[in-house]
């Protein structure tokens, strides 16, 4: 694989996160949530993409997922989806969770925009990932991705894999790492790695990411975890939009800095741009780009 030209840069990530940072919540800040969607749409259009607004209703209101498509050159190939959620909880500016994932998504779309790939790649910003206390049923999350995954199944989408970018920029050599009890792997005590979470049906995607990252971002520490079934035994492995695709039978992985098992700023007012490690975020982006090019190129 040739090097990415142009490359993902920390300056570009910083600009995206600065533009998105702020409470983006359906009840606490609905206008800011819609402004974030507008920013994502405008950015993708500036990179040369047409953007499809996948609209859905939730609790009597209309929301949207945004889908930008890089068409493949070969008919009959399964497509790849790259996904990040753009909403926040009600009290957090959400720089890491999940402006960081959206920023990497946008940069991937930018650097791959002129590539001719065998498979179609879709860059998808989904809404309403966070649990909403006032939703019905109470505590429901993953709402935008659940609707999208159901739509994909109903429409017969042929999907090679889904890569979910979930909080990818809080890391460092002095960060203390914890883990949920009962995991079948040893988790390092230092939070300087990207976790790669898949289920049994997605184990090949986990291995593909590890190979791509090892070849093109060898300095990026990686910790893989493949869980049985759809992660029912380990609920913390289901806490993002990949679970919606698992439940519809699609292979999907989550790339995450592990959020609350590492960051004291998780879902707090202190989740700001200044706390992030953008070099780490850029490295995750380059590894993900390598994965996309290997699977779709």
Residue (of 155, 160, 237, 156) closest to 196 by Cα position: 237
Q: Could you report the per-residue pLDDT of 252-289, keeping only the tens digit for each?
A: 999 999 999 999 999 999 999 999 999 999 999 999 99
Task: Assign residue 220 a region (left: φ > 0; alpha: ψ between -120 and 50; beta: otherwise).
Answer: beta
Q: What is the pLDDT of residues 185-198, one digit of tens each?
A: 999 999 999 999 99
Which superfamily is assigned to 10-296 in CATH?
Answer: Zn peptidases (3.40.630.10)
Distance between CA atoms of residues 220 and 287, nearest Å: 8
Enter the DSSP assignment of 25. B
Supply the pTM of this predicted model.
0.96
Rounded distance, CA 200 to CA 205, Å? 10
For residue range 64-91, list pLDDT tens digits in order.
999 999 999 999 999 999 999 999 999 9
Is residue 151 helix, strand or coil? helix
Dmax of the chain from CA atoms?
Answer: 48
pLDDT in tens, 173-187: 999 999 999 999 999
């Amino acid at each position: 694989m040739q090097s990415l030209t142009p490359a993902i840069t920390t300056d570009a990530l910083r600009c995206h996160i600065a533009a998105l940072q702020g409470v983006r919540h359906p009840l606490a800040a609905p206008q800011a949530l819609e402004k974030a969607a507008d920013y994502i749409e405008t950015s993708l259009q500036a990179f040369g993409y047409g953007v499809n607004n996948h609209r859905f209703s939730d609790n009597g209101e209309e929301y949207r997922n945004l889908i930008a498509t890089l068409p493949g050159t070969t008919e009959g190939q399964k497509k790849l989806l790259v996904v990040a959620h753009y909403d926040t909880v009600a009290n957090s500016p959400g720089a890491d969770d999940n402006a960081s994932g959206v920023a990497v998504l946008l940069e991937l779309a930018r650097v791959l925009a002129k590539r001719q790939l065998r498979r179609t790649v879709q860059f998808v910003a989904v809404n309403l990932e966070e649990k909403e206390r006032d939703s019905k049923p109470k505590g429901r999350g993953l709402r935008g991705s659940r609707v999208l995954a159901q739509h994909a199944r109903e429409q017969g989408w042929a999907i090679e894999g889904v890569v979910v970018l979930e909080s990818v920029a809080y890391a460092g050599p002095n960060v203390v790492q914890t883990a949920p009890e009962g995991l079948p792997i040893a988790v390092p005590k230092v939070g300087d790695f990207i976790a790669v979470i898949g289920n049994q049906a997605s184990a090949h995607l986990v291995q593909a990411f590890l190979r791509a990252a090892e070849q093109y971002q060898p300095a990026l520490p990686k910790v893989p975890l493949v869980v049985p079934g759809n992660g029912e035994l380990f609920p913390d492995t289901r806490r993002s939009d990949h679970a919606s695709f698992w439940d519809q039978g699609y292979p999907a992985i989550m790339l995450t800095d592990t959020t609350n098992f590492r960051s004291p700023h998780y879902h707090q007012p202190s989740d700001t741009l200044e706390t992030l490690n953008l070099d780490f975020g850029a490295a995750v982006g380059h590894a993900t780009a390598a994965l996309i090019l290997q699977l779709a190129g």
